[in-house]
Amino acid sequence: MAETIGGHLLVAGQTDVGCVRPLNEDNFHIDVETGLLVLADGMGGHDAGEVASAHLVASIARTLRQFMDTSPEDLSIALPTPGDGNDTDITLHDPQEEPTLDDLPNPVMKVVQDAVSCANAEINQLNREKGHPEDSGMGSTLVGLWAPPFSAHPIVFHVGDSRLYLFQRGQLTQATRDHSLYQQWVNFGGKGVPPPQNILLQAIGPSSVVTPDLRFLSVAPGDAVLLCSDGLTGMVSDAQIQETLATLSPDNLDAVCGQLVAMARKGGGKDNITVILGYFV
């Protein structure tokens, strides 16, 4: 059943094991109180990918909830207003000089970046306790949207190849860029034989260092967001997703989630399938 966040965002989600995998290593969480949507696609099989994804969504949710519970009420004072929805750069300054307002990272981004780093450190520590060397052991992708009441725009964050799409004025746009060898090949011109699409350049857990992508997202009433694991995008084309989201309304989020999952299963269901839909009202 769809839930409401802050009176302006309707949300629903669904996960399915698919048609081939014996275990669902995907996890997702919707936190109405903090305005968080987060999805994780675990990796590791017998090395407990489902443990990594469950730990990841719980850690992100816990950190942001603690922040919301303990932060001053006037946090919104001097919050930078995002410009075009792509404000991600943090400017380094001379340590001998006093930083200006432009040098300071946006507090909302800083909170998310710290939450992701904390979750990565926790899962990396679990890997080390099991005797896994660096860059091995269980891991997970991550994609999330956080819409706290004190931020002018929601923030999108991700690591790996789970995606967030924006559906706006009838058009579907991929708002995240995969951290994969295939995407890197595309970025450099796509020459020669393409590499496999499932080789990730980074994930949460295997490495002690992770660099999430973060950006603000400009949205308006009637816009929608789709967060999904590659169990959907590997089986269903962007054109099919766009056509399906064209039917989305405040009254049918659960039904459209189920439709997307059914399409992925019909396409082969070779991986776990998880979707979260958000509709701005």
pLDDT tens column, 129-175: 999 999 999 999 999 999 998 888 999 999 999 999 999 999 999 99
Compare 51 and 99 and report the one with higher pLDDT.
Answer: 51
Side by side, the strands of the sheet bearing 9-16 are: 3-5, 9-16, 273-280, 224-228, 163-168, 171-174
What type of residue sits at position 268? Answer: G
Return d(Cα 134, Cα 14) in angstroms, integer. 33
What type of residue sits at position 136? Answer: S
Question: Which bin fits 129, alpha (ψ -120 to 50), beta or left (φ > 0)?
Answer: alpha
User: What residues does each domain of the chain span?
Assistant: 3-280
Contact by Cβ (8 Å): 26, 13: no
Q: How many residues does the chain have?
A: 281
**Residue 44, pLDDT score:** 79
What type of residue sits at position 41? Answer: D
Return d(Cα 191, Cα 160) in angstroms, integer. 22
Contact by Cβ (8 Å): 119, 141: no
Q: What is the pTM of this model?
A: 0.88
120 has pLDDT over 50: yes
Token pair 């260092």: residue: 209
Mean pLDDT of 183-187: 92
User: What's the CATH number of domain 3-280, 3.40.50.920, 3.10.310.40, 3.60.40.10, 3.30.70.100?
Assistant: 3.60.40.10
